[in-house]
């Protein structure tokens, strides 16, 4: 099955998209705005600048997350309330924030999970994937997310793919 066919089957492409010959990887598709839930972020974007747009794409309970404070000293951290009271999230960069969000909303069936696809065109490519599509993606040979093992750990054991 081709990349385009599989992504269409899973409903993960932006509607009515035409994929050209250069659209052979998830990195390129994400960078070009063709993945539903995909986002390209500057490599030097601070977690406190990313958390709002990221939580909006994650959906579910993430949309009600409140950032109470952003601190840089002594270590970078966000003080947040995800509905269970105030928590400190040590987050140095967008990848740390993705891990924190995936952990915080792991039990929310409405929340998407965030895959770190990697860097392309001097941007970090993130993809907020519907939880129901994750088992199929983890079995797909084209899904080479940097945080693949962490994503796999978010699923019940019976749903996990190889890797």
CA distance 138 to 148: 7
Confidence (pTM): 0.91
Q: Are 110 and 61 contacting, i.e. CB atoms less than 8 angstroms apart?
A: yes
Residues facing residue 27 across a β-bridge: none
In the chain, where the domains are located? 32-145
pLDDT in tens, 3-47: 888 998 999 998 767 777 767 899 999 999 999 999 999 999 999
> Around Cβ 57, how many Cβ atoms within 10 Å?
19
Q: Which pair of tokens denotes residue 144?
A: 């080479």
Kind and range of the H or E run holding 66: strand 66-71
pLDDT in tens, 108-138: 999 999 999 999 999 999 999 999 999 999 9
Q: Which pair of tokens denotes residue 97?
A: 């924030």
The total number of residues shown for the chain amounts to 163
């Amino acid at each position: 099955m081709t990349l385009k066919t599989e992504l269409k089957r899973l409903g993960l492409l932006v509607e009515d998209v035409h994929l050209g010959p250069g659209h052979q990887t998830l990195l390129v598709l994400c960078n070009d705005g063709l993945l539903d839930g995909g986002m390209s972020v500057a490599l030097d974007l601070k977690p406190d600048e990313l958390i709002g747009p990221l939580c909006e794409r994650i959906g579910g309970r993430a949309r009600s997350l409140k950032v109470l404070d952003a601190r840089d000293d002594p270590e970078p951290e966000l003080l947040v309330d995800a509905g269970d009271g105030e928590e400190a999230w040590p987050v140095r960069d967008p990848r740390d924030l993705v891990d924190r969000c995936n952990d915080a909303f792991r039990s929310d069936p409405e929340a998407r999970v965030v895959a770190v696809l990697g860097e392309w065109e001097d941007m970090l490519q993130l993809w907020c994937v519907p939880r129901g599509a994750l088992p199929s993606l983890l079995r797909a040979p084209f899904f080479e997310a940097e945080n693949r093992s962490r994503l796999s750990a978010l699923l019940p054991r019976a749903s996990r793919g190889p890797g």
